[in-house]
């Protein structure tokens, strides 16, 4: 069994609420997407790739083209799991400016603690106050086919991914997974 763990940053959103590409939003001398990539790499994730969008090359990432462009994060998840073929994929969106390698490490440790057969079939999803944050988690590549069926059937809710197979929740500090959907939200997160 291949136990490879790949990192994937979701870049394919339209950033309609943000007004420009969120991955390239400046934060000090960096950009939001680079902060997310650094958190994954600092946690030992290699390789890290981009899913969709056009910012991947600016972040020095290989970009996996979204099979269903513009159809949302569930479609992006199905795309990256199909691309990975085996192992597991740690998926995060590009708009988490306070994501840390420590938070990523907590997810990785929880996934690695699963017995080998469970590791192949169980998702590890970040939670805050017990509520799952579907776009932050480790997903088994074995879920690619059922997720593709969901997307082909018209499903777009990311939460639907949790119905595909077993999953465990891993509580993370809310600040580490707080997203910046607007410039005002990014400003608030910078101040915290």
Number of structural domains found in the chain: 1
pLDDT of residue 72: 87
pLDDT of residue 170: 97
Residue 152 belongs to domain with CATH number? 3.90.550.10
pLDDT of residue 142: 95
- Which residues of the chain carry a pLDDT beneath 70? 1-2, 12-20, 192
pLDDT of residue 13: 56
pLDDT of residue 29: 87
Over residues 70-88, the pLDDT tens digits come to 888 899 999 999 999 999 9
pLDDT of residue 1: 44
138 preceded by a cis bond (ω within 30 of 0):
no
pLDDT of residue 20: 57
Structural domain harbouring 11: 5-191
pLDDT of residue 191: 72
pLDDT of residue 16: 45
């Amino acid at each position: 069994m291949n136990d490879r763990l790949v990192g994937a940053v979701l870049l394919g959103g339209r950033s309609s609420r943000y007004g420009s590409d969120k991955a390239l939003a400046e934060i000090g001398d960096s950009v939001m997407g680079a902060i997310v990539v650094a958190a994954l790499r600092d946690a030992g994730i290699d390789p890290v790739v981009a899913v969709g969008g056009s910012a991947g090359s600016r972040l020095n990432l290989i970009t996996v083209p979204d099979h269903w462009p513009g159809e949302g994060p569930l479609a992006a998840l199905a795309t990256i799991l199909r691309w990975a073929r085996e192992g597991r994929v740690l998926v995060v969106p590009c708009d988490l400016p306070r994501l840390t390698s420590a938070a990523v490490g907590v997810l990785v440790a929880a996934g690695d603690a699963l017995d080998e057969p469970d590791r192949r079939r169980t998702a590890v999803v970040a939670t805050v106050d017990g509520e799952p944050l579907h776009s932050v988690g480790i997903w088994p590549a074995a879920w690619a086919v059922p997720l593709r069926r969901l997307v082909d059937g018209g499903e777009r809710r990311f939460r639907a991914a949790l119905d595909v197979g077993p999953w465990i929740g891993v509580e993370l500090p809310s600040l580490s997974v707080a997203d910046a959907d607007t410039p005002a939200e990014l400003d608030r997160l910078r101040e915290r």
